[in-house]
Structure 1
Amino acid sequence: MMQVNVGSPDKVDANVFLIDSSNTSHPTFRAWCAVESWALRNPHLDVWFLLTSHALDNTDLLASHLLHRYPNLRVARAPFRLFRGTPLLNLYNSYAWKAESAWPVNQLSNMLRVVYLWRWGGVYSDTDVVCLRPFTLPLNAVGFSDPGAANNAIMGFTRGHAFLMDLMEDMVKHYKPGQWGLIGPAAVTRVLQDWCGASTLAAQDGYKHLSCGNVTVYPRHYFYPLRVEAHHRYSDADSGNYFDKVNTQLHNQALRLPFSSFFLKFYIQDLYYQALRSQFFYQFKLHYTAIYC
C-alpha cells in the first residue's frame, strides 16, 4: 500500500482536480484513464487526483508509474477541514449526505469539487471525462448538457469566484437526501438561472454560447457531445473511425465517452499498455464497456 498524504496546491487557477470520494484504495482504470489524459495533455497545469482513502493499492505499480511519467501529477488525500469557513460546513458535519442518502459518494464529490475550486481555482473534471487536447478555454465557465440545463462534470473557475459562493449556498438551501443530482447539475442550473435570468436560460437550446456577467456557459458539444445511447459505437469494429469523425467535427476539448481499448491505445498509451499487463484488464473491459471513460 502507498500512503496517501494530505496535499494542497501551491498554484492559483492553474490546477485540474479529479476526485474519487468512494474511500477506495484501488481506483478503477476508468478513473486513471481520465487522470492520465489530463496530465498528458496539460503539462502546464498541476493535475490533482484527490482521494478520500488514506492508502492507495499500488500492487500493479500503476500509480507509481504514472507519477513517475507525469511530473505535473499529484495524488493526495482530501482533508475534510476544507469545509471550514464555507457554507457547506454544516451540511458536511450533519452527515445527512451520508446517513440519509442513497448516493453518499456522489453527494460528497459534489461538495468537494466546489470547495477545491473556491479555494484554489482551476478546472474540475469528473473521472469519466477525458481530455483530448490542451485545455485552453478561459475559466469561469460551465457547459450545457441539455437545453436550458448545465452540468457540473466539468467546471472551471478562478479562486474565490462569486458564482462558487452562490453555488455552495444553493446546495445547502436545496439539499434533499432522497433526490439525486439536487446539489450537483441541478444546483449549477439553479444558480445560472439567477445569474442569467430564468427565462433566458430556459430559452437556450444548448448549442450556443451564453454569457452571464463574467460566467460563460459553453455549448454542449464542448464538453458533452455524446449521448449515453451512443456508447455501442465505441465497442464495434468501426469504433476508431466513428471516434475520429466525432473528434474532427466537434473540435471538442474534453469528452465523456464509453470505455474502449481503441481509445486507450491511441489516446492514453501509457495506461493502455500498463492495463494490458494487468490480470484485471479483460475483466475491466467486460464490465465497463458501456460506462463513460
Structure 2
Amino acid sequence: MRYAVSGGAGGPRLCRFVGYAMFFVNFLAIMCIIMYSNNINPFNLTTKNYNREGYIQLESLDPNEVAINRSIFFVETNRQSAVELKPRQACSIESAARANADRTIFILLLSPKLECINDITAVFRLVTQYKNIKIRYFDWISATLGTPVEEFVKSGKMESGLWPVEQLSDLLRLLLLRMFGGVYMDTDVVSLRPVPIMNFVSAEYPGVMLASGVIGIQDRSIAEKGLIMYKDGFVADHWTENGPKLITRLMQEICETDNVTAMYSGDAKCDDFTVYPPETFSPIAWYNWEAFFNVENEDKVMRDIENSIAVHFWNRMTKNTPIVVGSGQPYAQVAATYCPRVYETIDDSF
C-alpha cells in the first residue's frame, strides 16, 4: 500500500519543517565530529549523551578534573529541566577562555541537560574552538554535604525569600571556592586580561561596598568562613545582603576596618588579600549601565574600561537592551574584540 502526502498547503509546510529538523540534527552530528577530530570534548560526550530532541546530557563535575586554586568557574543557576546558554553568557565564557588560555574554564549547570536548539551556533562555535572550556552538571545539593551550610540548605530557608535564584548564586560561589579555590566570575563579566591567581576581591562604585561578581580565593578557609557568615546572617528579602554586603563584612574583619576606600587604597592591611579599586572589574557603575549602549559617548566609555582586567555588564539592568552588531555601542565593541567567535555568529543583535 502506498501513502501520499496531502496536496494542500500543509504538505509543503510539513516537508519544510521536516527538512529544518533534519538540518539541525545533522548540524549537531557534524559539530560533534568536528569536536572529536580536534580532540575537543567539553561535554565528555559519548554516544549516549547526544539526544535528537535537542539537548546534550552532561557529565557530572568530577572533582579530580579540577586544578586546585587555578580553575575559573561560571555557574548558570537556572534549575529548569534543560538549560540553554545565551549568546551574552557565551561571550563572557569565550573572553575568559581567551584571556586565560593556560587555565580551565568550568561552566557549571544545575540541570544535567544542555539545550542546543536556540542559539546553537554561538554555543557550539564557542565550545568547539577552545580546549580549555568544560561544561558540566553540578550536583550542588550533594556538594553541600559535610559543609557548614548542609543543614541550612536542608531547612529550605533559602527558597523563602524574594530572590532565591540570586541567593543560590551567592551560596554557590562560596561553596565552589571552598571546594577548589580559584576564581568565580558572573556570566555577565567579560574578561579583557588574565585574571590574577591570588586572594582578591574588588570594590564597586560609589566605593562604599565590595563586589561579589569576581572573587579570587587561594586560601579556601576564607571561603568556608564566608559560608558560615552566609548561613548565620542570611537575610531572605534583600538582594545584596547575602552577596556584596556579605563579602564586604568578610573583608572588614580581615582588613580590620569598615572603610572600603582604605581597603583598596592601601591604607588598610588586609593580610594576603588584594582589594582592587572599582575600575578593575566594574569600571562603569551599575547606575550608569546605559553608557554601554550609548554610541555618542562611546569614546569615553572605551577609555574608562581600557585598563580594566574585566568589565561587569550588569545583566539585571542591561538584559533587555539589545547589543546591535556593528553599531559602535561600547558593549558591541567589547564583544567584537574579546569574544569574536560568538560575536561572528550573531546576525543583527543579541
Query: Do the structures match in fold with TM over 0.5?
Result: yes
Cα distance in 1, alignment partners of residues 155 and 335 from structure 2: 41
Query: Which runs of structure 1 show a deviation greater than 4 angstroms over 4 or more consecutive aligned residues?
Result: none
| Aligned match for 2:210, one of 128, 131, 150 | 150
| Aligned match for 1:202, one of 259, 262, 280 | 259
- How far is 1:234 from its partner? 2.8
| Aligned match for 1:222, one of 262, 280, 292 | 280
| Aligned match for 1:46, one of 89, 104, 108 | 104
The residue that corresponds to 2:47 in the other structure is none
- Show the 5 A alignment for 1:15-34: 15-24=71-80, 25-34=83-92
The residue that corresponds to 2:237 in the other structure is 178
Aligned partner of residue 193 in structure 1, secondary structure: helix
| Aligned match for 1:165, one of 224, 236, 239 | 224
The residue that corresponds to 1:261 in the other structure is 332
Cα distance in 1, alignment partners of residues 207 and 286 from structure 2: 16
CA change 1:263–1:104 in 2 (3 A) is same
Cα distance in 2, alignment partners of residues 33 and 245 from structure 1: 21
Instruction: Indicate conservation of the 8 Å contact 1:234/1:242, yes or no.
Output: no
Instruction: Indicate conservation of the 8 Å contact 2:199/2:216, yes or no.
Output: yes
- How far is 1:63 from its partner? 2.7
Cα distance in 2, alignment partners of residues 61 and 178 from structure 1: 38
CA change 1:103–1:65 in 2 (3 A) is same
Cα distance in 1, alignment partners of residues 198 and 264 from structure 2: 19
- Show the 5 A alignment for 1:1-293: 1-8=55-62, 9-24=65-80, 25-59=83-117, 60-80=120-140, 81-98=142-159, 100-135=160-195, 137-145=196-204, 146-158=206-218, 161-197=220-256, 200-202=257-259, 204=261, 208-209=265-266, 210-238=268-296, 240-248=298-306, 251-257=307-313, 259=323, 260-276=331-347, 282=349, 284=350
CA deviation map 1:59-115 (0-9, x unaligned): 2243332111110001111112111121111121222212x1121111111111111
RMSD: 2.0
Instruction: Indicate conservation of the 8 Å contact 2:106/2:134, yes or no.
Output: yes
Cα distance in 1, alignment partners of residues 297 and 340 from structure 2: 17
Instruction: Indicate conservation of the 8 Å contact 1:239/1:262, yes or no.
Output: no
Question: What letter matches 2:202 in structure 1?
Answer: G
Cα distance in 2, alignment partners of residues 113 and 226 from structure 1: 23
Aligned partner of residue 258 in structure 2, secondary structure: helix
Specify which structure has the higher proportion of strand: 1
CA deviation map 1:2-23 (0-9, x unaligned): 1122113431111110111012
- How far is 1:176 from its partner? 2.1
CA deviation map 1:214-257 (0-9, x unaligned): 22211111112211243333323346533431233xx1101113
Cα distance in 2, alignment partners of residues 91 and 143 from structure 1: 28
Cα distance in 1, alignment partners of residues 85 and 173 from structure 2: 18
CA change 1:162–1:232 in 2 (3 A) is same
Instruction: Indicate conservation of the 8 Å contact 1:151/1:185, yes or no.
Output: yes
Structure 1 length normalisation: TM-score?
0.85
Aligned partner of residue 212 in structure 1, secondary structure: coil
Name the % identity. 23
CA change 1:163–1:87 in 2 (3 A) is same
CA change 1:271–1:240 in 2 (3 A) is farther
The residue that corresponds to 1:291 in the other structure is none
How many residues get paired?
A: 272
Q: Which runs of 5+ in 1 are unaligned?
A: 285-293
Question: What letter matches 2:67 in structure 1?
Answer: K
Structure 2 length normalisation: TM-score?
0.72
Cα distance in 2, alignment partners of residues 203 and 255 from structure 1: 20
Cα distance in 1, alignment partners of residues 171 and 71 from structure 2: 18
Higher relative CO (Cα under 8 Å, sequence separation at least 6) belongs to: 1
Cα distance in 1, alignment partners of residues 297 and 59 from structure 2: 40
Instruction: Indicate conservation of the 8 Å contact 1:88/1:169, yes or no.
Output: yes
